[in-house]
Chain A
């Protein structure tokens, strides 16, 4: 984060903190600092056929598995850490810490935001070559996009690459 970006963010946070603390997210985020220099990303061709491709799963639902530190769902600025999820962890053992969407459907069936069971079924039937482990989890609510760019995104990319995935599936919430 450049000094200019930090100043921009700190100024915004000082002005919008009351709205954030009042949980008026939409109003608070209306003028949140954004990245303005992004370009549309070009798809890279698969290195091997889909049925030989290992797919990594990335969720922004702030999911943890047993033994991991909870994610900071209540923090008005968000959480800028990631968790690595063993794909064989029973879904009934997973916890969701995101506090900015209706968790009801995901608590009933986590596959609606973290389709790990379905992806493993597609590996079993030969649609894809396999599912990379670990999967990667972070929290999709955040106020500081510069920290996402500088901390979270590189950590996610590094984890996906180390998992051996040929391609990544992100389910953003």
Chain B
């Protein structure tokens, strides 16, 4: 699975599972030092390992994603 910020290159490669985060390049996991946020993003990405069934399955991360 991937945790990506850049949709262009990711769309060319079409990996099996992608969590897109709304951050700038170089901040895929968000804010430096924000461990809770980073863990939440990781959990959302890991969830794709169990839920993704279709080729190039993508999810946009948002706080509700973590709580789902």
Interface residues in chain A, defined as those with a beta carbon under 8 Å from any beta carbon in chain B: 34-35, 38-44, 46, 50, 53, 55, 101-106, 108-109, 111-113, 115, 117-119, 121-122, 127-128, 167-173
Contact = CB atoms under 8 A, between A and B. Distances in A.
Contact of A169 (B1, B6, B26): B1
Interface centre among B9, B16, B31, B42 (most CB of A within 10 A): B42
Interface residues of B, number: 40
Contacts of A113: 26-29
A122 B29 contact: no
B41 to A, nearest CB: 8
Contact of A42 (B5, B16, B42): B16
B55 interface: yes
A171 B5 CA distance: 9
Given A55-B46, A169-B46, 16 more contacts: A38-B14, A40-B14, A40-B55, A41-B15, A43-B52, A46-B50, A50-B46, A101-B26, A103-B26, A108-B32, A112-B31, A113-B28, A122-B46, A167-B1, A169-B45, A171-B28
